[in-house]
Amino acid sequence: MKVLSGLYYTKDHEWVKVKGNVASVGVTDFAQNSLGSIVYVELPEIDEAFEAEDSFGTIESVKAASDMLMPVSGTITEVNDELENDPSLVNSEPYENWIIKVTLSDASELEELMNAEEYEAYCNEEA
* pLDDT tens for each residue of 31-40: 999 999 999 9
The pLDDT of residue 127 is 67
* Beta pairing partners, 75: 49, 103
Q: What is the DSSP string of 60-84?
A: EESS-EEEEE-SS-EEEEEE-THHH
* pLDDT tens for each residue of 62-96: 999 999 999 999 999 999 999 999 999 999 999 99
| CATH code linked to domain 8-106 | 2.40.50.100
Q: Which residues of 97-115 are buried (b: 16+ CB within 10 A; e: fewer)?
A: bbbbbbbbeeeebeeebbe
| Spatial contact of 116 and 123, defined as CB atoms under 8 Å apart | no
What are the residue boundaries of the structural domains of the chain, listed by start? 8-106
* Phi, psi torsion values for 44, nearest 5 degrees: -80, 175
3-state class of 23 per DSSP?
Answer: strand
